Amino acid sequence: MLISLTISSASALGTTEPCDVPVLSTTLPADGDVGVLPDAVITLVFHASGGACAPATFGGTLTRASDGVEVPFGTMSDAAGLVVTIVPEEPLEVGQTYEVAGEVFEFVVRFEVGEEGLPMTAEPSDLSIEATASCDPLELTMLREVVTFDALGRGLLQTRLARDGAFGDWTTRAALGDDTTYILTDTLLGSGGEHCFGVRLLDETGEVVWTVDDAGCASTDACPPPEEESRGCSTAGGAGGSVLPLLLLAFRRRRTRC
């Protein structure tokens, strides 16, 4: 199975596709997970094909399922407005089941807390990137990154992009779980240069489990400069043409009036 996610670079939002209302895509922990560490955070990953019109938010509750007691928490959002992290103010209790219920975006996730932690996926078995440049009407670079795992596992998949060696920030792309192949797309302003990407995996507490800095690179040629309009001679007497026929015409008109 594979999952395809599309996210636009922050520098390209509003230039390629209309913005969209975020839709919840994946979560960590996922519904039904067991063995979640007590100091876990709950990560909600949203999807918006043209970039988020407004940042995704969590308006909901985190409760202990056995007695319905609400657990106080804080939230954080990423710069693109597509990832919301719920941070409980106190560690969760081992052996208890907790429920995350969204109200703005309606969903329910139930998970059980344990001491063993979620089973993290192994390193990717295959990584690749393709780059395509578009020159009309805007200069854009479309990137397609593929991350493949040999087996299912949990974790947060993050990537970061580099153009000509200058890396950007890490971005959460998906909460791993039910798929082994993830196709990610990015649209960047400008064309030309070498585009590379890195990959890393985080556990449910937000700790980095492994990192691959040199996941792959692809290059595109820069768009050619726009052609300048011709300023050559014109036999029609327009711009750049001869003014003699106009002078002769004016002379004839003056003689006629006389």
Q: Which residue, chain included where needed, has tokens 């070498």?
A: 194
Looking at the structure, tell me whether residues 41 and 81 fall in a common domain.
Answer: yes
By C-alpha distance, which of 174, 135, 171, 138 is closest to 14?
138
Residue 166 lies in a domain: yes
The CATH number given to whatever domain includes residue 60 is: 2.60.40.1220
- Contact predicate 139/191, CB 8 Å: yes
Residue 10 lies in a domain: no
Residue 11 lies in a domain: no
Domain of 108 in residue numbering reads as 19-112
- Contact predicate 193/219, CB 8 Å: yes
Torsional sign, CA 172, 208, 179, 140? positive
Q: Which residue, chain included where needed, has tokens 């440049």?
A: 133
Residue 180 lies in a domain: yes
Residue 248 lies in a domain: no
Looking at the structure, tell me whether residues 85 and 163 fall in a common domain.
Answer: no
pTM score: 0.77
Q: Vertex 77, ends 75 and 81: CA angle to 5°?
A: 145
Average confidence (pLDDT) per 10 residues, the chain, 258 residues: 40 47 89 96 86 76 96 91 93 97 88 95 94 90 96 94 92 92 92 94 95 94 74 43 36 38
Looking at the structure, tell me whether residues 72 and 34 fall in a common domain.
Answer: yes
Looking at the structure, tell me whether residues 106 and 135 fall in a common domain.
Answer: no
- pLDDT of amino acid 9: 39
The Cα 185–Cα 33 span in angstroms is 28
| One-character DSSP codes across 9-36 | -GGGTTTSS--B--EEEEEESPTT---B
Structural domain ending residue among the three candidates 61, 86, 112? 112
Looking at the structure, tell me whether residues 106 and 149 fall in a common domain.
Answer: no
pLDDT tens for 61-100 read 999 999 999 999 999 988 888 899 999 999 999 999 999 9
Domain total in the chain: 2
Sheet holding 107-112, edge to edge: 60-64, 97-102, 107-112
